Amino acid sequence: MEGNSGGGGGGGVATGGGGGNDVELLCKTLQVEHKLFYFDLKENPRGRYLKISEKTSATRSTIIVPSSGISWFLDLFNYYVNSEDQELFSKELQLDTKIFYFDIGENRRGRFLKVSEASVSRNRSTIIVPAGSSRDEGWAAFRNILAEINEASRLFILPNQKNSESPEDLVGLSDDVGSGFISGQPATSSELNVDRSVDLPSQDEVGNLGVSKVIRVDQKRFFFDLGSNNRGHFLRISEVAGSDRSSIILPLSGLRQFHEVVGHFVEITKDRIEGMTAANVRTVDPPQR
């Protein structure tokens, strides 16, 4: 085992062999029973990825999740956390050329979720997450970490340095499934151990605080721009479809409420995986044994 210590290259999505030069954006650890899970959000010129390792005293195994898959993982873990025992189905998640299999198992130690990654070039690798005995252990704790990482990932910009590539080009490489995420300038990254020596480019737009982002959903694009005027600071959200554009102006004082309301709808629509409309998650037959 342990196939990823080679130098450089590493075809796939965003794994760079050992990932030696990859920038570490965020690290978290989670202990579940006697296992230790490491979450490393990393980035290299090919894109961003989440490395999840399971370590026990004797073994370590790792899966690599492309950044575009983090929110899918979050949704899937939410599904397993929220579903009743008898309706825990296996799931498959396809991202780029990888397929992740989610399977439930149970033995005298308890219930567990097996997440394995299959790709053409690499051996299959698997992590196994115990369900945990209480509500905030195991799957739920794992889910919470994914949620933090998913959230934090939005705060990091892509490296817009050195190589002549523009940040937009890099995003295109790393986020080619689901909603793309084009980053403008860095947001405040608070307490995270950001290794970004990127500096804020000078802004030419008066009143622009230097933060703007774009997401693409179906045929629409949504622009998020922080701005300010003599009335104060605001977030402008613009919807652009074809040649039509409309905006809402949200005073920053209302941003948190806005976030909570959106979070509410995210929650009530995602605890059933069937609510996910994208084509790359599908239910497979229940495990039979």
Which stretch, 128-136, 218-226, 262-270, 273-281, contacts DNA (CB under 7 A)? 128-136
Which stretch, 57-65, 194-202, 234-242, 274-282, contacts DNA (CB under 7 A)? 57-65
Give yes or no for a contact between 235 and 225, defined as CB atoms under 8 angstroms apart: yes
Check binding of 4 to DNA (CB under 7 A). Answer: no
Where is 21: in which H helix or E strand? none
- Supply 54's token pair: 């399971």
Q: Among 269, 275, 27, which Cα is nearest to 148's?
A: 27
- Supply 13's token pair: 């999505």
Give yes or no for a contact between 30 and 127, defined as CB atoms under 8 angstroms apart: no
Site string for DNA, 87-106 (x = CB under 7 A): ------------------xx
- Between CA 133 and CA 117 the distance in angstroms is 26
Around Cβ 46, how many Cβ atoms within 10 Å?
18
Q: Which is nearer to DNA, 31 or 247 (CB)?
A: 31
Check binding of 29 to DNA (CB under 7 A). Answer: no
Check binding of 236 to DNA (CB under 7 A). Answer: no
Check binding of 55 to DNA (CB under 7 A). Answer: no
Check binding of 124 to DNA (CB under 7 A). Answer: yes
Check binding of 114 to DNA (CB under 7 A). Answer: yes
Give yes or no for a contact between 120 and 98, defined as CB atoms under 8 angstroms apart: no
CA geometry: angle 273, 275, 281, nearest 5 deg: 50
Considering only 126, 160, 179, 238, the residue that binds DNA (CB under 7 A) is: 126
Check binding of 287 to DNA (CB under 7 A). Answer: no
Considering only 7, 8, 9, 34, the residue that binds DNA (CB under 7 A) is: 34
- Between CA 9 and CA 240 the distance in angstroms is 38
Count of residues engaged in binding DNA, rule: CB under 7 A: 21
Site string for DNA, 130-149 (x = CB under 7 A): xx------------------
- Supply 277's token pair: 């409309």
Check binding of 110 to DNA (CB under 7 A). Answer: yes
Give yes or no for a contact between 175 and 165, defined as CB atoms under 8 angstroms apart: no
- Contact residues toward DNA (CB under 7 A) are 33-35, 56-57, 59, 61, 105-107, 109-112, 114, 116, 124, 126, 128, 130-131
